[in-house]
Each structure stands twice: as structure tokens, then as C-alpha cells.
Structure 1
Amino acid sequence: MVDAEHWPGDERGAGPAPSGDAVGEGMGADASEGFIESQEGELGEVRIANEVVSTIAGLAAVEVEGVAGMTGGLAGGIAEMLGRRNLSRGVRVEVGQHQAAIDLFIVIQYGVRIPDVAWKVQENVKRQIETMTGLEVTEVNVHVQGVQLPQPERTEESRVR
């Protein structure tokens, strides 16, 4: 069973028609939607939800120093900066039986070297997904959506002396 999303202009979605939303937005009405089959044995099969892959990727991305947070992607824009509560919204996954491709939409901290942070994010996400799910990660695309500027420290002056 392959649950893959076809992106216009992208050759990765050449498989069967999509059966559900693989962007971490939840699972469909059919019990088989939103899941990837990872292993079949004598006792049965092991299935991993797409949401699990999205969450692993999001957590792996934000633990890299220099990443300020995740965004909701192109549609959400910078205004929809998300914290740790819903990391899968800044992650788009395309999964098959044995492979996964990941797109991450991140905001980085001001002052860091963007290519270095992006490479570390790619390495960490690939390692975590391969270790935890057994899937081969074919690509990790990092989309830097913005830079978080440092917030000046507020010193409240006393209103009375």
C-alpha cells in the first residue's frame, strides 16, 4: 500500500493516486488512510501513521540550534509561527512502503549561518526518521520561510518612586 501525495511539477508523486492528506493534517475517514505499511510478518503487520513521521521530523528540526520554529508552509506564511504544540503543521511528508520524502518549513534565528542550520536540520531529520521508523529517507527539503529577529529586552520602569 502506498499513500503518497502528488505535488504539481514534482516527479516524486508518480505513484498511485493519493488516498489521503499526507501533510500531517490528520487521518481520513477510511481506517487505511494516513498510514504507511512498514513491515509484514507472521504475526501481522506494523503500520505507522503519517502523522507520526511528521511529528518525528518536526521535533528533529526544532532541536537543531538556530531553528526558531516551524511555519504552516507557504499558505500559512510567517504570521502563523508555531511552537512545539503542532510541529507536524510545518512538515509535509510523502511516504511509501519503504521510503519517505520530507519538506520542512522553518523560521531561523537571526545571526546564524542559514546553510549550516539547514544542513544540520537535514541530517538530524533523516537520522531520526530512519532510526525510529526504518524508512529510507530519500530527501529532506528545507524551506526557510523567515528569520526571527532578536527581541529587545524590556525593562519596565517603575511608575512610582
Structure 2
Amino acid sequence: MDILENKNIEKKSAEEEKNLELGKISVSKDVVAIIVAMEAIKVKGVVGLTGGRKGLAAPILDKNNLNKGIDVVMAQNQKEVALTVSLVADYSVGIYQTAREVQKNIKKAVETMAGLIVSKVDINVLDVKFKEDLEKEKKEEDTKKEKPVEVKEKTPAKKDDK
């Protein structure tokens, strides 16, 4: 080890010690899961995340379902994380390339945003959707949005004349 490299290590250790003086920072598993979900659904070819049953992809931007299909395993030191993401892919887009891009995006985002070391990102493609299915689902959603809601007017209750 040369002198320059040794000085860099000493400098890094001093910076780490200084940072420890400020206090501890911890990021919950739920926060990591939200980061993972948001990054996964940004990738072209990801239809949604799924909790495991075929055909049941979580709605893409529903806050209640953001962590469905995501398993976060935090190391004891709380600095390292292993991730598993279960998703539904668009059949018309390359599944392998989609999964690779999801892995890269998630790793980068979790390391940058949460300051954690990502040891692995496993991707499980549990279902695929075909273009025709996606178009049909989109039409059904659009029809639900366009359908006017009927409002029934209440008729005033009749008073009994006694």
C-alpha cells in the first residue's frame, strides 16, 4: 500500500467518524419498498407488481399496494439490503432486458436515496400480459372513468296529517 492510498483510507475513516457524531440515520423497510416500487414501475415493460397470484398485478400507482410483490431483507447492521421484486411484464417488450433494467434502476436508487448497500436484487417475473390484454384493460378503465354517476334525488317524506 503506498502512502497516498493510506492517507485516503485515514481521511475516509476520519470523515466516517465525524459523520457518526451527528447521529444515526435509519431507513425503514417500508420506505425501501416504496423506492423499489417506484423505480420498478418506471421501467418500460413493467405492467405492475404482484403479490404472487397469477393475474393479480397491483394497480401501478395505488399507495396501498406499492409494496406488494416486494420483499426487503435488511442485514443486522442495517446498512445492507437484499431485495426480491415480483412483477408482471409486458410480453411485447423483452422480458430479460426489462428485468435487468429494473435491477439496475432499483440498485442505483436505493443506494443513492437510502444510503444502503444493495447486495442483490432478485426479479421474479410471475406473469406476462399481452398487448391485446393491456389494450382491453385500458379501454375498460377509460369506460369506468367516462360513465356518469347517477344521483337520485331524495323525495321529501310526507307528513301525516292527524
Q: TM-score range by the shorter chain?
A: 0.5 to 0.7
Partner Cα distance (1:120, 1:144) in 2: 13
Deviations 1:27-71 (A, max 9, x none): xxxxxxxxxxxxx73343222111000110111111000000000
Q: Partners in 2 of 1:135 and 1:67 — Cα distance? A: 24
The residue number in structure 2 matching 1:82 is 58
Structure 2 SS opposite 1:44:
coil
TM-score of the pair, normalised by structure 2: 0.64
Question: How many equivalent residue pairs?
Answer: 113
- The alpha-carbon deviation at position 88 of structure 1 amounts to 0.7
1:1-150 to structure 2, matched below 5 A, reads: 41-73=20-52, 77-83=53-59, 84-85=61-62, 86-96=65-75, 97-150=78-131
User: Which structure has the highest helix share of the two?
Assistant: 2
Deviates more, 1:60-69 or 1:88-97: 88-97
Structure 1 residue ranges, 4+ long, deviating more than 6 angstroms after superposition = none
> TM-score normalized by structure 1?
0.65
The C-alpha deviation readout for 1:54-112, integer Å capped at 9, x for no partner, is 11011111100000000013xxx124310221221110010122211100000001211
For the pair shown, which has the larger CA radius of gyration, 1 or 2?
A: 2
SS at the partner of 1:72? coil
- My pick for the range that moved more, 130-139 or 143-152, is 143-152
Q: Which structure 2 segments of 5+ residues have no match?
A: 1-18, 144-162
Q: Could you say what the CA RMSD is over the residues aligned between the two structures, in angstroms?
A: 1.9
Distance 1:99 1:47 in 2: 11
Q: What's the % identity of the aligned pairs? A: 34
Letter in 2 for 1:48: V
